[in-house]
Amino acid sequence: MAQVVIYLLLATAAAVVLDLVIMRWAGRRLRPGSGDERNGAVVRVFGAYSPVLTWLKYRRLPAEAAPSVSLDASAPLVEIVRPCAEAESQKPESTSQQWRFPSNLALGVGLTLFGLYAIARYSPVLTTFDFVPALNEWLRVDVVNLDNVLVGVALLLVGGWQFGIAVRGMRLAETGPEAAPPHGTWPALDREQRPRWLRLAVLSGLLLAFLLFQLRGLQITPLQLWIWLGAIGLLGLAAWRWDRAGGVTLRLEIARAEIVLLLALVVGGLLVTAYQLQDVPNILMGDEGDFFTTAKSIAAGEYRPSPFDFGVYSYPVLSGYWQGGILWLFGPTLWAWRFASVLAGVLAIVPLYCLGRELFGRRVAVLAAGAMVTAPYFLAFARLGYNNSQAIFPVTLSAWLLYSGLKRKSMFYVFLGGAAAGLGFLTYTAGRLAFVFAALYFGYVFLGNIRRATIWRSQGAPAPSSRNSGLWPSALGVLPLALFFFAGWATVASPHLVYGSARDPSSLRYKMLESLFASADTARAFYTDDEIFSIAPPLKVDGQELFFHPGIYARLLLRGLVRTLLVFYHKDLVTEHFIASPLAGPVAVGFYTLGLALLIARLRERRFAFLALWFGSGLVLFSAINTFPPRHQHLVPIIPVMALLIGLGLEAVTGAVAAVLPIRPRLRSAIHAALLGLGIAASPC
């Protein structure tokens, strides 16, 4: 531990020396009293002070004193914000405020790189710690270089903190308010407008109820598919008429050049992921072939189950219909079967770009799309015959439509987001993540509305655009949007759930019970039966043996969370499915770390909270509380969030450097391309 303290002191001293060097360089570069705008910009950019002062006395800078890096698609690449002459004369800047930015940036990036280096090393970087064997015996992290991991994590935390200070003046693209309008402001609820959408919604509900009644009785007819599609279409039309009554704009503001760019991204993604698809990988996984057998039978017309039935390993059979349709188009070959996974994954580029563009601008959206299709984690599952990659598209589509729908206050967008979340229930099990984090985000928006309404009421001012300044009417405005979202989800997902519960309820629960951390099979890897069942006897549910022991629960959950967070940095935690690097990638992991630091630093903003709920709920529900974490095969729906963090970190670094050194836009784009190319070249996949 002493060595770590010594290293941090040396790093701090090095940052102080860096301060002095920058000050001397800037003193030569800038002539006192010069009126050159570039010189003034450089003075404003070097608004950082020594990490020693940061540590001893941390104060919030005024908004006009911090360098601002814009990520807005319509704004210049880098915008240095300088206060007006009157403000400068009224509020003279101290030396600590002027010399804050570069040293924190250098220290943050430097500590992050050294932390990643420490985690990747097997031999001790600094020293070995005496308590590590006991810690591993208690927590069972089970990595060979746990000493280096502890050092690396400490460095990443300090580096992320320093980087957050450095980029705290970043101005991201404004996306407008996402909150729903207050209660009583929906024109579609007026007496004249209500029948236009309500009749369609009621008819959709009647069709769905009739379908569910038949499926509950295990009655299967060819007409049921059309009844299902009709119920979905009628409810969507009702949502569209609701928006039309309120004058909601549904048009996508996207230029032709962006459409060409988006098509280029999709084509490029197909070229990258489908390269030598027939031969790489050159073997099949143990249980992979059953998916090919089922898809081949569906393509040949030999197997025609109900679209609401179960398929391979109790997964929804609709995922088999997707693979069978691709085999029917391209022939029953190994290439066509794997291409079904490629196409399902690459299609997620479209909603990922749209979401990234709406959150942070076009540049981050392009970087995120490029980061996703070149990530070893994505490539591994996009080139296998499993149905894992099918979950990425509906989850990402649901996320974009939900966020855009709340921002536009559009029932149609929100309904489509719910339908996409329901589609996730018909693919791989992890596709259910869209429903979970949407529910969490609606709760977040609801609580935010309550907080704002409370503030307005305490100040004696009515809520904006509200006919009633009461607390609950203002807060409940999000409920109609939530109702349409979950109605869209139920219309798509409920037929499979109802039919599955009537036909084979154990298969419907099988995947959840199989992956639950309370499984006795998981605990037996670390404890004896006497320890596991010391409080309560075993409980058997659908062939799965469960146990109850709060102490063991806490230890297993902590172990799962630690290993799940570490899997993005450590290459030895995942050795299956042809993955030989950290999930974030051997090079992109640095930008992922910096993007994650920026997310944590700006967590109060709703767009960052949106990503945090998506990312956090996936980590916890589909890996941390699962058996034998990390469960990388369950985490595929959070690959788009990982890509957004990589793109955000890459743009933040280049934007911060451009604020210090004059970099032309073309050079900055070349740096982006070079770094993405480096990630591809360094990928072991």
User: Coil, strand or helix: which one is 545?
Assistant: strand
Per the listing, tokens 């029917």 go with: 328
Q: Does pLDDT of 210 surpass 90? A: yes
Q: Give the C-alpha separation, 439 to 442, whole Å.
A: 5
Per-residue pLDDT tens over the stretch 35-48: 443 333 333 333 33
Q: Give the C-alpha separation, 212 to 219, whole Å.
A: 10
Per-residue pLDDT tens over the stretch 123-157: 888 888 889 999 999 989 989 889 999 999 999 99
Per-residue pLDDT tens over the stretch 528-559: 999 999 999 988 887 788 999 999 999 999 99
User: Coil, strand or helix: which one is 572?
Assistant: coil
What does the angle CA 460 – CA 464 – CA 467 come to, to the nearest 5 degrees? 90
Specify the higher pLDDT residue, 165 or 426: 426
Q: Give the C-alpha separation, 12 to 162, whole Å.
A: 11
The four Cα atoms 34, 36, 41, 42 give a dihedral, to 10 degrees, of -60
Q: List, in sequence order, every beta strand (DSSP E) within 537-592.
A: 539-541, 544-546
* Domain boundaries along the sequence of the chain: 1-166, 256-682
Provide the b/e sequence for 71-84 (b: ≥16 CB within 10 Å). Answer: bbeeeebbbbbbbe
**What are the CA-CA distances from residue 506 to residues 430, 495, 509, 516 (Å)?**
18, 17, 5, 15
Specify the higher pLDDT residue, 60 or 103: 103
Per-residue pLDDT tens over the stretch 289-333: 899 999 999 999 999 999 999 999 889 999 999 999 999 999 999
pLDDT value at residue 94: 41
Q: Give the C-alpha separation, 543 to 506, whole Å.
A: 9
Contact 419, 492 (CB under 8 A): yes
Q: pLDDT band for 472, please (50, 70, 90 cuts).
A: low
Q: pLDDT band for 612, please (50, 70, 90 cuts).
A: very high
Q: pLDDT band for 201, please (50, 70, 90 cuts).
A: very high
Per the listing, tokens 């015996």 go with: 137
pLDDT value at residue 353: 95
Per-residue pLDDT tens over the stretch 437-469: 999 999 999 888 888 777 767 766 555 544 444
User: Coil, strand or helix: which one is 516?
Assistant: strand
Beta-bridge partner residues of 626 = 516
